[in-house]
Amino acid sequence: MNKRINILCTLMTMFVYLFMQFGMFGTNNSLHVSAAANDQIAGKFMPPNGKSLFFIGQDEDACLKYTQSGLFQMPSGMTTYINLYTLEGLQGNIGYNGGSSISMLWSKLLDRLLKAFCYKFGTGPSNTQKIIEKHQTSVIAIGVYMTELNNSDGLDKITKGVYDKQIDELAKVIRNANRPVYLRLGYEAEGIWNNYDPIKYKAAWQYIVNRMRPQASNFVSVWQCATSPYNERNRNNINDWYPGDDFVDWCGFSYFLPGKQDDLSNALLNFARHHNKPVLICESTPQSYDINKLTQGYVDFQGTKDTALITKAKMPNQIWEEWFKPYFQYIHDNSDVIRGVAYINQNWDSQSFWGYPYKNGYWGDTRIQQNSAIVKLWNEELDSDYWLKGSATLFSQLGWQTILSSD
């Protein structure tokens, strides 16, 4: 009798174990929480359940050419960048509040200089204030450049108060934007190209957030990882760069290589789930594709003088199936935690920082509006109710009530 009881108990234990592991209705081996558990993630300025923000970027021209093309509904967000140390890209001109002819003359001159020599990097023009003014019904995501590559001991100086004036000016512009702002401080934290010291990075992040929160209640801090397979430091624990739950409102990551980087991206998503943080895909684009020329390319590095670009023709549906389809599928599969997505709608090849001789890799031309077939497929996805649009009710849907007066 005892033997039979022991066997029965063993079988019941195994049944309970299998039930807990796989569930009554089949197996579930996924690493992420079911998308049905949307209400488990909480966060400031998070879209309602079953909805997501969508941003276009990443510079002034990219935003305006997308929204003024007449091909798309207004995105719920715009992406822009600034340099914390110099505030380049924040207002982008002199005499912003002035009205004299001299001020206006300097403003026009500086605008031209910025477009010709933006950030001294050869990237596109960035003017956060203009983006705010020209897109009154969209939220804003601001990438804050704060590496020490051209700013010796910059992070230490931040924590010592050297850049308090710049931080306060940034807070003022955000406050006066009068809408939710998603602030990506020191984006791609673990990226080897940024070379952030983890301890200094976290201290600077905490200092900035502590100083800005009393001045502007309409921003969330977004901690962004690179999650790149080409990043040698990805083997380190991303937690080394994490400023802490009290200082981070959202997590974020860059997503350029669907399928190839999913292990790294999944690690970030699970990290965010564990810390109960919503996630913004802060940067995404079909790297290596040229939507205008309908090609995919890669760089054959044979030395600085012999760099060769190898391209292969692609039909629009091939580009969609190879990059966009798995991209959107990944977003929907992880909709419990991914609550915002930013797409870079850029002619990378036209900018010296990204163009020939491709020292920063080959990125192509990812402007959706350059191909009518891609536009059609794009709108079939983005026109759905899942994606929030720029509208008069957007800010209130995110939990922000517009303040009528600003200084």
Catalytic residue list = 188, 283
CB atoms within 10 A of CB 304: 8
Q: Which two tokens stand for residue 103?
A: 């001020």
Q: Which residues contact 216 (CB under 8 A, 6 or more apart)?
A: 171, 172, 174, 175, 181
Tokens of 259: 């399928």
Non-local CB neighbours of 131 within 8 Å, separated by 6+ positions: 60, 63, 78, 80, 140
Locate tokens 């207004």: which residue?
74
Q: CA nearest 293: which of 314, 275, 323? A: 314
User: What would the two tokens of residue 109 be?
Assistant: 């001159």
Cβ burial of 339 (10 Å; 0-12, 13-18, 19+) is buried
* E-state strands within 86-160: 139-145
Q: In what helix (H) or strand (E) does residue 400 lie, and over which residues does it extend?
A: none
Q: Which are the contacts of 356, defined by CB distance < 8 A and separation ≥ 6? A: 307, 309, 349
Q: How far apart are the C-alpha atoms of 121 and 136, rounded to whole Å?
A: 29
Check if the beta carbon of residue 180 is closer than 8 Å to that of residue 118: no
Q: Rg for the chain (alpha carbons), in Å?
A: 23
